[in-house]
Amino acid sequence: MHTENNDPIKIAYSIKEACKASSLGRTTIYSHISSGRLRAVRIAGRTVIPAESLHALLSGEA
C-alpha cells in the first residue's frame, strides 16, 4: 500500500518522525514511552515507535 506520492505507508516512526507527526516534543514522547502509554521497540540499536501505538495515543485509546 502506498500514499498519494507513492511512498510506502509508514508502519513505524523514529523518535524524530513521531515528534514531527504528532506535534509532541521529544521529552513528551519519551515520557509516554516510560509510562507505558506509547510502545517503543529497539531494533539494531535504533528505537522505533509502531504506527498503531502512536495512533492509539493520539486518539486517546492508550
Domain assignment present for 30: yes
How far apart are alpha carbons 41 and 50 in whole angstroms? 8
In a domain, residue 31? The reply is yes
Is 42 contained in some domain? yes
* pLDDT for the residue 6: 77
Decide if 1 is inside a domain: no
Residue at 4 is within a domain: no
Domain membership flag for residue 7? no
Q: Write the pLDDT tens digit of every residue in 9-58.
A: 889 999 999 999 999 999 999 999 999 999 999 999 999 999 999 999 99
> What is the structure's pLDDT at 26?
97
Number of domains in the chain: 1
- Residue 41, CA distances (Å) to 1, 13, 16, 47 in order: 23, 10, 14, 6
For residue 38, what are the domain limits?
12-58
Q: What is the pTM of this model?
A: 0.83
